[in-house]
């Protein structure tokens, strides 16, 4: 059996807020990005890194977006991961308050 293809994808967010207005757009963009980069290759090992350097606000809609993307990645192959990089303190606080900080691979700013 051949080794799985490994993909490390990085998405740089420029929005300051992931709220009800932007969350559906973000979901669509991330899913399109995954599809374009990895296609239908079911054996691909994927690390999707979302650089959140500019994000200072994360609403419940934003959290749902990241949970849905993470679930899609894990359903495709359990080794896949969503990485949230350069996460600001306000966003860390929201993830801690909701008990979801450990649901993602989070790298603080």
pLDDT recorded at residue 3: 52
Q: Which among 27, 5, 9 has a CA at the least distance from the CA of 18?
A: 27
Q: What is the pLDDT along the chain (109 residues), one digit of tens a residue?
A: 445 588 899 999 999 999 999 999 999 999 998 888 777 666 778 899 999 999 999 999 999 999 999 999 888 888 889 999 999 999 999 999 999 999 999 999 8
Number of domains in the chain: 1
Dmax of the chain from CA atoms?
45
Is 30 part of a structural domain of the chain? yes
Is 1 within the bounds of a domain? no
Residue 4 carries which DSSP code?
Answer: P
Range of the domain at 89: 6-108
What's the pLDDT at 79?
84
pLDDT score of 102:
92
Q: What is the DSSP string of 16-78?
A: SEE-TTTHHHHHHHHHHHHHHHHTT-TT-EEEEEEE-TT--EE-HHHHHHHHHHHHHHHHH-T
**Cβ-proximal residues to 37 (8 Å cutoff; 6+ apart), any chain:** 7, 9, 46
Give the CATH number for residue 73: 3.30.750.24
Rounded to whole angstroms, the Cα distance separating 46 from 34 reads 9
Distance CA 81, CA 4 (A): 15
Residue 35 is assigned to a structural domain of this protein: yes
What pLDDT does residue 2 have? Answer: 44
């Amino acid at each position: 059996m051949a080794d799985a293809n490994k993909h490390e994808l990085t998405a740089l967010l420029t929005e300051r807020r992931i709220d009800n207005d932007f969350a559906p757009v973000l979901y669509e963009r991330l899913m399109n990005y995954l599809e374009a980069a990895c296609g239908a290759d079911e054996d691909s090992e994927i690390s999707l890194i979302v650089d959140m350097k500019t994000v200072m606000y994360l609403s419940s809609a934003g959290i749902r977006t990241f949970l849905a993307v993470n679930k899609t990645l894990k359903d495709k192959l359990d080794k896949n991961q969503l990485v949230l990089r350069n996460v600001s303190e306000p966003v860390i606080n929201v993830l801690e308050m909701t008990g979801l900080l450990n649901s993602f691979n989070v790298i603080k700013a």
